[in-house]
Structure 1
Amino acid sequence: MEIEVNSPDSGETLWVVADRTRFLGGLFGSDLELIEVEVPPGSGTPPHTHASPEMFYVVEGELTVRHFAPGGSPKATVAGAGTSIRVEPMAPHNYSNDSQAPVRMLVLVERSMIAFFRDIGTSEPQAQPDFARIGAAMQRHNIDALTMAA
């Protein structure tokens, strides 16, 4: 039997745009991996869909998670420390840190999403996102950005 241990100073860390993402490893015998994400104030993702289900667990701070129902207004949930959020495959959603303090969360996703994060991740935070590079990576990893009606 194998056991893998990650200490607070181990594990690969990349910046996915402005969010610091630390890769904690996968669950043996499954396609699931765990990451730790630090989301600074003002950071977040655009509305999008993807095949991988996700589960967020907020460790510190307040994360705003939105679900975009077809034909309706987005439903926003402010998730504080100790809150978990499950996102079904292909559910239109996004998250943002609308507070003045950083958010730290654990995220459980399939390896397909880990590959996307590694694809767009950089060794330093990005002052200006390279939207063309991120868009091309989204296409390669079957992640669809949602176009919001004006």
Structure 2
Amino acid sequence: MSINITTPENGETCWVVADRVRFLGGLTAANPELLEVEIPPGSGTPPHRHASAELFYVVDGEITIRHFAAAEPPVTIVAKAGTAVRIDGNAPHNYMNESTRPARLLVLVEPSMTTFFREIGTAAPQQEPDLARIGAAMQRHGIETLQMAS
């Protein structure tokens, strides 16, 4: 039997563009891993899809999540503290912090996503992200960026 403790002082951390990701751990008998993500105002992801399902829990602030369905306007959810949002695998979506203050999420994902975050993560925030490097990593990990009609 083993116990693993992650505190604010000892958790592995990296920056995915402007978002701070802290790896909180996973379950040995199951696949999901828990991440803490801090999202500054104006930061987020482009519309995308991937095989891993995600469960977002807003701890602080608010996040705008969009689900994109074919030939329909996106479904927009403004998730505030205390809100959980499950996104099924391969569901086209994105998230953005459209508020004026930072937001903090707990995110439950499959190990494939934590591997991706570790690969593209950096020791400091990225003012000018290396989009070619991130795009190549997205291809390797089966993450598809979606082109949305204007």
Q: TM-score, normalised by structure 1?
A: 0.98
> Partner residue of 2:75?
75
Q: Secondary structure at the match of 1:65?
A: strand
CA shift, 1:27, in A, is 1.2
* 2:111 maps to 1:111: yes
Question: What RMSD in Å do the two structures reach over aligned CA positions?
Answer: 0.6
CA deviations 1:49-92 (Å, max 9, x no partner) are: 00000000000001000000111111110000000000001000
CA shift, 1:121, in A, is 0.2
* 2:54 maps to 1:54: yes
Paired residue type of 2:40: P
Paired residue type of 1:35: L
Q: Map of 1:1-150 to 2, 5 A cutoff?
A: 1-150=1-150
Once superposed, which parts of structure 1, at least 4 consecutive aligned residues long, lie more than 2 Å away? none
Q: TM-score, normalised by structure 2?
A: 0.98
* Runs of 5+ unmatched residues, structure 2: none
Once the two structures are aligned, what percentage of the paired residues are identical? Answer: 63
Q: Secondary structure at the match of 2:43?
A: coil
* Runs of 5+ unmatched residues, structure 1: none
CA shift, 1:10, in A, is 1.2
CA shift, 1:8, in A, is 1.3
CA shift, 1:125, in A, is 0.2
Paired residue type of 1:55: L
How many pairs does the alignment contain?
150
Paired residue type of 2:118: R
